[in-house]
Structure 1
């Protein structure tokens, strides 16, 4: 309980920093006035309500979704390197959105954003199949190599789209690296609902996912059907990752860092870990976004770059600690 209280306090602090700090700083009192006594002539009120609040909501959706998706993937595969970005799920969702925007146009942001879900689902399923998940031998190295291969393929396809259609460059700039800069134009309410649905599926399936970590034979002996559990987990990862990519683009390494940190403080109780991962993921994304807006102000460093600067060393550290045949 103490850990959850600390995470909630951190999330409140990160949210306040998101609303207060930026090119034009605001006071905490301005936040309350922007909602309780809104002045349409006050530029600070306008910035808070039209720019920073959407960024805050998008950051919470993306961070919580990626944190929970990474926790589910690592528990399902027993692979400490599994996360939506490294295993190609982010890239699958981003490629589907870029392709949809070029095919159908960018006028309907809500429709184009929905394409992230089939893209994420197909990518997750492809990595799982290529990594040997259907045979029950999805080891860390096999899954990581499958994800790297899929990432390379999807990046090649996106590059081909950019060369084929020069007008796709603007879409590519957003979807190649995650950003909250366009949060106000994203269907935040719909994505929040779908993220909640994915979180609910993950939480309900958590005990059965934990049973799978005991091995397929023992899990069946306990009444668990591995195929259905894996399908439920993939559905949860698809909903969570699709929601995150729809509002923030492909933000890498959040799903890698969060479960690793949570395991150090919470242990291996998956259902509780999922709640903690959602809170910590939101904190990391909001702090990374705020830092990206301040480091080179008034220019902005995209959130995907900020999380990559921190996440890459974490990935190397975890990979160095792995031993042949080891699992999470």
Structure 2
């Protein structure tokens, strides 16, 4: 169904309001409720002796900023993967990209625990490329291995394998508690310094995605059609996968593994705005950002006053959506 360009324009124009609302609610609500006046004073007249001011500036603001950034990064990464591979199940969490990042971060924490933050991000990106390479490599060796369902199975197996090795290494070197936060998401423990350092990497990935968006739309029509239209498919695939590695590696280095955002959000976005990736990518970034911020807010109240891991919240939404896609689309290979 063809979508009017007014819808993506409306989403983008209204996005500052929804992002501001998500930030406000995230600042005000949690285990300790904070008034709007206190929040304003913390931003305009910070008092280091005020506990509420400390909570806002050192915990809640970095936390919601991380949720917004990671939500946008993972959603765009998933949209790119679905468009380039024409696989409706493609996403960082199902194709081994997240697991590869977490695996390399585990190795880094065990053997090189004092690396600077920027090196941690770069190594996380290398892990993203490793995970994706293993999954698509094995998929290409198996008959029909690149079909959506089989590739998802291969991704799950490779991801479980990498996670198991990482867990065994972490237990042997007695750092399992430190490593566990990367596999269960540490969005509530985000490092503000790492947050600032991660922004240039993630923004570069978003800019690459926007640059390639028109070509991704053509690539999503199929290899033969794309080549017939003069598209340099290998170049576009390279740029696109570089964007995915930048976005996913940054997201995992920042908060650890969060599943299903990259699967669910691109489909919702395409349902709303159509299949033109010039609209899908920026709208996925906005919707993904707000979605993960809302999930983070919900995680604080599901088992109040205790926090539920944000991965549980995204799974509550993502698993039924995954099963719905399998039921309705089966083995069909189309973005």
TM range (shorter): over 0.9
Separation in 2, partners of 1:214, 1:109: 39
TM-score normalised to structure 2 length: 0.91
Mark the CA change 1:160 to 1:78 in structure 2 (over 3 Å): closer, same or farther: same
- Per the TM alignment, residue 30 of structure 1 is displaced from its structure 2 partner at its CA by 2.1
The residue number in structure 2 matching 1:291 is 298
Question: In structure 2, which of residues 172, 181, 187 is the aligned counterpart of residue 164 of structure 1?
Answer: 172
Residue number in structure 2 paired with 1:49: 57
State the partner residue of 1:149.
Answer: 157
Is residue 2:197 matched to residue 1:190?
A: yes
Does 2:238 align with 1:231? yes
**Does the Cα contact within 8 Å between 1:139 and 1:327 map onto a contact in 2?**
no
- Which digits, 9 at most, give the CA deviation of each residue in 1:71-107, with x for residues without a partner? 1011111111111011111111011111100011257
- Give the match for residue 248 of structure 1: 255
Does 2:180 align with 1:179? Answer: no
List alignment gaps of at least 5 residues for structure 1: none
The separation in 2 between residues aligned to 1:213 and 1:108, in whole angstroms, is 39
CA distance in 2, matches of 1:73, 1:308: 20
1:270 and 2:277 correspond: yes
Judge which range, 22-31 or 57-66, deviates more: 22-31
Q: What are structure 2's unaligned runs of at least 5 residues? A: 1-8
Equivalent residues of 1:82, 1:144 under 8 A apart: yes
How far 1:245 moved relative to its partner? 0.6
The answer to whether the 8 Å contact 2:185/2:257 transfers is yes
After alignment, is 292-301 or 242-251 more displaced? 292-301
Would you say the 8 A contact 2:167–2:176 is kept in 1? Answer: no
CA distances 1:30-70 after superposition (whole Å, capped 9, x unpaired): 22211211122221111101111111221111111001001
Give the Cα–Cα distance (whole angstroms) in 2 for the partners of residues 91 and 2 of structure 1: 35
Change (3 A) 1:248 1:127: same
Change (3 A) 1:324 1:242: closer
RMSD of aligned alpha carbons: 2.0
Give 2:19's aligned residue. 11
Query: 4+ residue runs of structure 1 moved beyond 4 angstroms?
Result: 106-110
Residue of structure 2 equivalent to 1:98: 106
